[in-house]
Each structure stands twice: as C-alpha cells, then as structure tokens.
Amino acid sequence: MTEGTDTEPNADPGRERALRTARLRTSHADAETVAAALRPDNTDSMEIAVEGDALVTTISRETTGGLQSTVDDTVVNLTVAETIVDTVQTHE
C-alpha cells in the first residue's frame, strides 16, 4: 500500500495544472469606488481593472469548483459594494 493521495493517477509532479479563467465585466456609476471596496478581499488569483465606468475582474483558479466559488463570492461582493455606493450617493 502506498501512502498519500493523488487526484490525477498519472500526474506529473513537475507539471503545472492548467488554469480555468473567468472574466467579469460590470458597469458602475462609480467603478473606482466599487473596485476600492473589493480590493481588500482579492486573492492572488484575482485581478481588478477599472476601464471607464466598467470594472473588469479576471479570476484564474486551478479547479472548476474553485473558480465557481470565487466567481460566486465576487458577484456577491460586487452586489454589496454597488448597493452601498448607490446608497451613499443617494443620501449625500
């Protein structure tokens, strides 16, 4: 019996796994503020760029499940940040 586990039976330990990537492009009245609100939650697998009124978030993960989880979390965070920015701007 061998010790340890291997998720890929014939995995080459020296080979990097291919990354799965998702790109989210969302429009915001204040994209800079929304981006600033999200940056503290970013991981090494995420990149955010502001392009005018658009926020472009690129997420790369090794697994499809990991990508899905990170995208789900990011969409929730985007929704919360956008709601807060809208509320603050409405009540100023």
Asked if the model's pLDDT at residue 17 lies above 90, the reply is: no
Instruction: Write out the E strands in 1-92.
Output: 20-27, 46-51, 54-61
The token duo for 63 is 């697994």
> What pTM does this model have?
0.75
Lay out the sheet containing 20-27: strands in order across. Answer: 20-27, 54-61, 46-51
**Taking residues 5-26, what's their average pLDDT?**
68
Question: Mind listing the pLDDT tens digit for each residue in 21-67?
Answer: 999 999 999 999 999 999 988 888 999 999 999 999 999 999 999 99
**Helices 64-90, 31-38: inter-axial angle, 10-degree rounding:** 130
Helices (H) and strands (E) in the chain, counts: 2, 3
